[in-house]
Structure formats: structure tokens, C-alpha cells
Amino acid sequence: MKGLLLKEFYNLRMVFVIYLLVVIFLCFLAFSDGNVINEPTQDGSLPSVEEMCRNGIYLLMPLMFIGGFYPGNMLISSYSFDEKSHWTPFILSVGVKKSKVLLSKVLLHLIATFILLIPFLVALFVMDAPFDISIYVGLILTFLASCLFSGSMSLFMCSAIGSSKALVLSSIFSFLTTLIPMGVILIPTVMEGMISYLWIFGIINFFVFGLLMYILFFFLALLMFKKRDF
């Protein structure tokens, strides 16, 4: 397993560095634009705490989207490298099980998710927004849900029909599934007086669109991957 993971990171090292730099850049933008959260309104008064929290969440949305989309897209790149180099038939010919190959993809995705979570946490905690603990919990869980949901769909699509046949389709599904948890978290954000319940929507995101979908699509991907001939 260690060798499979090293192979993944060696093949994707430049892709991962580019993704990480983009996420860090978006973190910088979110942090540098944090001063707009507390800007006075047209009548000269400061916005309410709820309005400042809402502005902070809006600034974090592009970062949440990109950070959620990239780990799933990294899986597509991994499958694409394997298919171009005919890696899978080779590794299966030396006795490595298909389940172990698929598990290395899952671990790659989870490691990438938690690495990309670090700059998101930095931007979240240093922003000039009056977030309380419920908002932190809701946003972090939604970020993880976006990563897991996007990754589960990429894992399933690439395992079922291969990245070369489904490159565009996998990217589209990865893109759309990243937006779904973000859409859920916008419900309490835009509704008046609901922002303090953000943690509830974050928990729903994490367990429904995160863990549940990830486990479901992992077993579906494993079933389809075992049926494929290499």
C-alpha cells in the first residue's frame, strides 16, 4: 500500500502543487478582502453581526468550491495517468488485488482532502468575521462534505468506465456534486435569523452528502472495478 501511495503522489506531484497554490491564493484573497466585512453601510452605520457573518461566508464560498472540487478532480487525473501508462494491468499481473488498487485511490483522495483543509482552516480562523463556534463547525463540515461527495462521484465514474471514456462526464459530476453541499449551507445563510443554526446544516451535509455517499459510492466503485477487464 505504501508503494501504491508513493506512486500516486509521484505522478501527481505537480498537479497537487498547482492545486495547493490555487487554494492558498484564494485563502489570501479571502483574508485580504476580510476588511469589507466590517465596512459601513450607506447610512454610515456598521452592519449587524449576522450581516458581517454572512459577508464572511460569501467570501469563503469560492475557496470552499475550489477546495471541494480539486480532490475529486485529482482522482480523475490519477486514473488518467494509470490508463495512459497501462499501470493497472501491470500491477494486477504481479498479484496486487483490485480492491487494494482502489483503496490506494481512496487514501490519495482523503490525504489530499485533509491537506487542502489546512489552508481553508487558516483562512477561516484569521478572517475578520465575528464567527461563533456553530459557524466554524458548519463551514468545516460542509467543506469536508463537498470534498467527499465530489470524490465519491469521481471514484465511481472512473472505476466504472475509466477516465478516458468519462473524463468530461466525471469532471461535470464532480463539479455539480461540489455545489450541492454548498447550496444546503446557503439556506441558513440567506434566511434571516437562521445563521446560528449553520452547524445543523453542516452536520446534515457531512453525514448525508459526505460519509453516506462516500461509503455508498465506494462499494459501487469496488463492484464495478472488479468487473472491469484490464
- pTM of this structure: 0.82
CA 41 – CA 68 distance, rounded (Å): 32
> Are 229 and 166 within 8 A, CB to CB?
no
Angle at 105 between CA 208 and CA 172, to 5 degrees: 60
- Domain ranges within the chain, ordered by starting residue: 2-227
Specify whether the CB–CB gap between 61 and 182 falls below 8 A.
yes
pLDDT at 36 over 60: no
**pLDDT range class, residue 132, cuts 50, 70, 90:** confident
pLDDT digits (tens, 9 = 90+) for 63-121: 778 777 788 888 888 888 888 888 888 887 888 888 888 888 888 888 888 888 888 88
- The stretch 166-188 carries a mean pLDDT of 79
Place of cell 468530461: 168
Q: Is 191 left (phi over 0), alpha (psi -120 to 50) or beta?
A: beta
Q: CB of 73 within 8 A of CB of 154?
A: yes
Residue 24 has pLDDT above 60, yes or no: yes
